[in-house]
Amino acid sequence: MRVTELWRFPVKSLQGERLDQASFGDLGIEGDRRYAIFDLGTGFGLTARREPRMLFASARTTAGGVEIVLPDGTVAADDAALSAWLGRPVALRSLEEVQERRYENPDDTETEAEASWGPFTGAGGAFHDSAGATVTVLSTASAAGEPLRRFRANVVVDEPGEDDLVGRSVRIGAATVEVTTPVPRCVMVTRAQPDGIDVDREVLRRIHRERGGTLAVGGSVSVPGTVRVGDELTTT
């Protein structure tokens, strides 16, 4: 099992950066999910569950922090530009600026336009949904032909078997990850994305039907280090 792709997502729910190598540390991949956009009216962190348009903007790490490129190709200069794009008052916040991390999820993904939306609390530190999954691993086989970008995994590997890593220490390059949990999936995986990735509710239905609602595995870094594309995953 070898690494074929490495990804970080500097801003929660925006498109991310494909990397040739990445530094793994206490918060996951360096620069991953260090920022999130918050709705100033509700106080909730925005995700593509509630605001699917977010997946059509992208974020890239810069020497000064992060830069957001809007769907029209312009760089968002400030919170006012983000607010104008999303049609509501919002603010980009770093992990150091936010203590309470609440997001929203529809109670019924099949009729989400009419469904109620329930809040959930994300992890501290970086803006991950779960503190136990600051690094996620997915095989191309488990994606079953779907565009890998739907699943926003940090580490993509070339062979099946990532489910068997749960409960084990995994060496990836110079880093060690304690794999602790399968990753539950939500309406996010059905959303449209750039480059012809259309809305597809069958993706989530299949994950529930064939995989009990989970896809990919998650864990936390116990030994920091550099990981490169081509590195092998080995259990310790």
Q: The pTM is what?
A: 0.93
Query: Could you tell me which of 174, 179, 135 has the C-alpha nearest to residue 161?
Result: 179
Cα R_g (the chain), whole angstroms: 17
CA distance 196 to 215: 22
Is the predicted pLDDT of residue 107 greater than 80, yes or no? no
**Whole-number average pLDDT of the chain:** 94
CA distance 206 to 236: 32
Specify the range with the lowest mean pLDDT, choosing from 58-72, 90-104, 114-128: 114-128
Return the pLDDT at 99. Answer: 87
Token couple for 118: 């329930």
Token couple for 35: 């920022």
Looking at domain 6-235, its CATH class is: mainly beta
CA distance 140 to 4: 9
In this predicted model, what pLDDT tens digit does every residue of 148-177 receive, in sequence order?
A: 999 999 999 999 999 999 999 999 999 999
